């Protein structure tokens, strides 16, 4: 059976030695080399053509992010697995964007690292639980911010009701009768919601309502 060739990239000797010792216990995995920074990693990748590169991020001369970008560009068939002590989204997102197929923290259990190596070798993606949590939190925060910027979310419940009725073709008098208010009050609601949406004619208001799914096209 073909063994998975692994290159370990980390500027700490003890870390490299420890990972090598552990990986030597894994059937089907072979450590073919080590590198102390991103620049040396590129040289070793070209010489050894590993299947998977275990890439630290914070290293001198050339960091893991830049090395990952270059490896993915020059050797697209080689998989990069980030292995770092950081697990927040400020590190996870950039390294994934750089082309890494996985992200594992140095606090993870060894069995997790072994599984990650096998997964990325098979063409799958792998995120340690803490990294996955960081990504979910980042997405949720981004969604919340974008939601706050959406002018539709600035409308009151009554303004949304008026919007729906207006684009459905109801007159101010008809809407006033439904809400038991004066037509002038309805016009006040209509003006307010259009100002919040920055829409100033009924045609654009209808287009907006269709995009939002308020009415069917």
pLDDT of residue 134 exceeding 70, the answer is no
CATH of the domain at 105: 3.40.50.2300
Q: What percentage of the chain reaches a pLDDT higher than 70? A: 88
Does any domain span residue 62?
yes
pLDDT at 16: 94
> Are 165 and 137 contained in the same domain?
no
Q: What share of the chain is helix, strand, coil (3-state, %, to 5)?
A: 60, 15, 30
> Are 173 and 111 contained in the same domain?
no
pLDDT of residue 131 exceeding 80, the answer is no
Whole-angstrom distance, CA of residue 105 vs CA of residue 102: 10
pLDDT at 140: 62
SS3 9: strand
> Are 21 and 81 contained in the same domain?
yes
Task: Find the angle CA(76)-CA(81)-CA(85) to the nearest 5 degrees.
Answer: 145
Going by pLDDT thresholds of 50, 70 and 90, the confidence category of residue 137 is: low
- What letters, b where the CB count within 10 A reaches 16 and e where it falls short, cover 94-128? bbbebbbbbbbbbebeeeebbbbbbbbbeeeebbb
How confident is the model over 81-95, as pLDDT tens digits?
998 887 666 677 788
What is the domain range of residue 197?
A: 151-212
Last residue of a domain, one of 118, 141, 164: 141
Total tally of structural domains belonging to the chain: 2
Question: Does the predicted model carry a pTM greater than 0.75?
Answer: no
Does any domain span residue 146?
no
């Amino acid at each position: 059976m073909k063994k998975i060739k692994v290159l370990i990239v980390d500027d700490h000797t003890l870390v490299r030695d420890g990972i090598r010792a552990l990986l030597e216990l894994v059937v089907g995995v072979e450590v073919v080399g080590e590198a102390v920074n991103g620049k040396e990693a590129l040289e070793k990748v070209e010489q050894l053509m590993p299947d998977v590169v275990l890439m630290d991020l914070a290293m001198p001369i050339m960091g893991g992010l830049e090395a990952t970008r270059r490896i993915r560009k020059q050797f697209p068939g080689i998989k990069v697995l980030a292995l770092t002590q950081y697990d927040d989204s400020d590190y996870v997102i950039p390294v994934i964007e750089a082309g890494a197929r996985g992200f594992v923290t140095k606090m993870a259990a060894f069995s997790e690292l072994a599984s990650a190596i096998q997964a990325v070798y098979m063409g799958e993606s792998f995120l340690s639980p803490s990294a996955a949590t960081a990504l979910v939190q980042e997405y949720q925060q981004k969604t919340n911010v974008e939601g706050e910027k959406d002018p539709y979310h600035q409308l009151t419940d009554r303004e949304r009701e008026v919007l729906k009725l207006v684009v459905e073709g109801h007159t101010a008098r008809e809407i006033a009768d439904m809400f038991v208010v004066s037509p002038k009050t309805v016009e006040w609601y209509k003006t307010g919601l259009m100002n919040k949406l920055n829409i100033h004619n009924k045609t654009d208001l209808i287009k907006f309502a269709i995009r939002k799914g308020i009415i069917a096209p």
